[in-house]
Amino acid sequence: YLLKEMSPKILFEAIDTVHDKGVFYTDTVTQCLLNIRTEEKVVKDCVEELKDREKEFIKLACSEMTYKEIADVMFLSPKTIDGYRDSVFIKLDVKSRVGLVLFAIKHQLN
């Protein structure tokens, strides 16, 4: 991957490197790749921290059920569901049910 504002010197270096090694990454691209890997690990750690009942709550929260309906399905009180919601929001760093659903879809939790 090469940036269009790359200097001719780096462009020629990239061509030689690709010819010799088959691949070339600039420092910028390498840093982006490392940041993606770090973010993936953080997300994985957050998901692993979730308890089974919290994961069940997330799956149900991704439906059109109300929190009261979720409480009924899980045989819990609405207050307990509120606690699960608050705990999951904190652990996954989301601020709303929509954010939770988007997180679940992106990370295949639903």
Same domain, 44 and 61: no
Q: How far is it, in rounded angstroms, from Cα 76 to Cα 39?
A: 34
Query: How many domains does one find in the chain?
Result: 2
Same domain, 67 and 106: yes
Query: What 3-state DSSP class applies to 69?
Result: helix
Tens of pLDDT, residues 1-26:
677 777 888 888 888 888 888 888 77
- Under the banding of pLDDT at 50, 70 and 90, the label for residue 93 is confident
- Would you say residue 82 has pLDDT above 80? yes
Q: What is the CATH number of the domain that holds 87?
A: 1.10.10.10
* CB of 47 closer than 8 Å to CB of 107: yes
Q: How far is it, in rounded angstroms, from Cα 42 to Cα 15?
A: 35
Same domain, 70 and 110: yes
Q: Is the whole-model pTM more than 0.85?
A: no
The boundaries of the domain holding residue 82 are 51-110
Tell me if 1 is assigned to some domain.
no
Tens of pLDDT, residues 45-69:
777 888 999 999 999 999 999 999 9
Q: How far is it, in rounded angstroms, from Cα 14 to Cα 58?
A: 46
